[in-house]
Amino acid sequence: MAFGRFQDFLSGLVKRQRRLFSGSEAASIDELLKKLMGTVGEVSGIVTARQVLDHYEDLDDERKLAFFQNLEQNFNANQAVVKLAFDTYENDPSSANLNNLSKAAEPQRHELLRRLNSTPNATHDLVAMRTDLLKLLRDHPELRAVDQDFVRMFSSWFGRGFLVLKTINWSTSAAILERIIRYEAVHAIKDWDDLRSRIDPSNRRCFAYFHPALIDEPLIFVEVALTKKIPTSINSILEDNGAGISDPSEYNTATFYSISNCQPGLKNISFGNFLIKQVVQELQAEFPSLKTFVTLSPIPGFGRWLNTQSAEELAELAEMKERLGQVENSAESTQEHAAQIRKLVFNYLVQAKRGKFPSDSVARFHLGNGASVHQLHTGADLSEKGLKQSWGTMVNYLYDLASIETNHEHYATNGDIEFNDKLKSLLIKA
């Protein structure tokens, strides 16, 4: 409540004081940036920051590009100051001189972002601003330095200590529920009835992280199914309302079947690791009978991988890919070629790499969190999307609480992928 009242006070202050800064309304955004970096008065800085953000929102795509190019070219560290600080540290490598060097080497963009974030509702606007920036990186790689500065700032502002975990249920505000429908990225929610079937039954839970600066805006959310065994298809989850279990103590398995990041502007700001571990704690407190924690995950990169060739690829694997590529991708073929698909999927998960880590984005997420590849299920998602992505196959990643940290260390250090021994026979070796 105190935070909200303070925000209301600042909002009112900005509205009242903006009119006192005559001439600023007609100023260009570059002039406003210079003014913001030169201000010493707190009120003036807050008002100018809001003017910059309002002005940016009205820019067209071409001028937004020019805005980011200005940040890249003119808001770096002062080279002469950096050299002086470096020479001083080289002559006397004391802690004080190291701190001075670190401060001197910090790009002016960091301070600019901090000043922009001083005005009410600025965090929301800056997250939206980075969404624009991410769209420009492919054609303008020189802007990656600017993006890295956004990541550094956001990693601090959205640290674990600021995140609030909330349970999403049918009594949650309509504004948040509407966003859950809109942001669901794994298994589309068709309508309000579909949403209710996922969050209202006794064997369903949904949790989301929020940040105080983004009112009613979930950052990431996870949908959970409570069952008596590990699910083998997405329909077995979506079509189950839990009516067959009257005693909650019968639940022994929690399945994370959908995890959706909600804010594109927070890409590469990690919440998922914290989220899953905290949700496990919440579920264990409510249902002590839960012993198994798994996902039922898509394999989004498998279909694309089938259509690629690599000189480093094992001959047997290349031949299997070619044979499956000649088969029509349909619900019927997933059953007919289940053994071949299963073997290919497993080798894709553990052998197709981007650097030392898996090519598949979902695999990187869960394996990086300390999970292991547990079970594979062909014909688990026969939707158009499921067939296109992975020939209908889904995977259970197991979160074994006793080995999560060890798995994470091995993965982060060496790229090691832990998997169920029962899957070992599927591995194609040289």
Residue of 258, 297, 372, 390 marked catalytic: 297
Instruction: Show the DSSP H helices in 228-383 as ranges.
Output: 234-238, 272-286, 302-306, 315-325, 331-336, 338-351, 361-368
d(CA 399, CA 39): 51
DSSP-assigned beta bridge partners for residue 261: 220
Which tokens sit at 354?
């981007």
Sign of the four-CA dihedral 337, 342, 343, 347? positive
CB-based contact 428:316 (threshold 8 Å): yes
Decide the pairing of beta strands 372-377 and 394-398.
Answer: antiparallel
At 184 the three-state DSSP class reads coil
Annotation marks residue 372 as catalytic: no
Annotation marks residue 377 as catalytic: no
HSE (CB half, 13 Å, CA atoms) of 138?
A: 2
At 200 the three-state DSSP class reads coil
CB-based contact 374:383 (threshold 8 Å): no
Cα first-last separation, the chain:
63
Residue with tokens 């100051």: 81
Residue of 366, 374, 377, 390 marked catalytic: 366
- Best CA proximity match to 262, nearest among 316, 300, 206, 322: 206
At 309 the three-state DSSP class reads coil
Beta strands in 90-210 (DSSP E): 164-167, 204-210
DSSP-assigned beta bridge partners for residue 259: 222
Count the neighbouring beta carbons within 10 Å of the beta carbon of residue 311: 5
At 394 the three-state DSSP class reads strand
At 158 the three-state DSSP class reads coil
Q: Would you name the residues annotated as active-site residues?
A: 297, 366
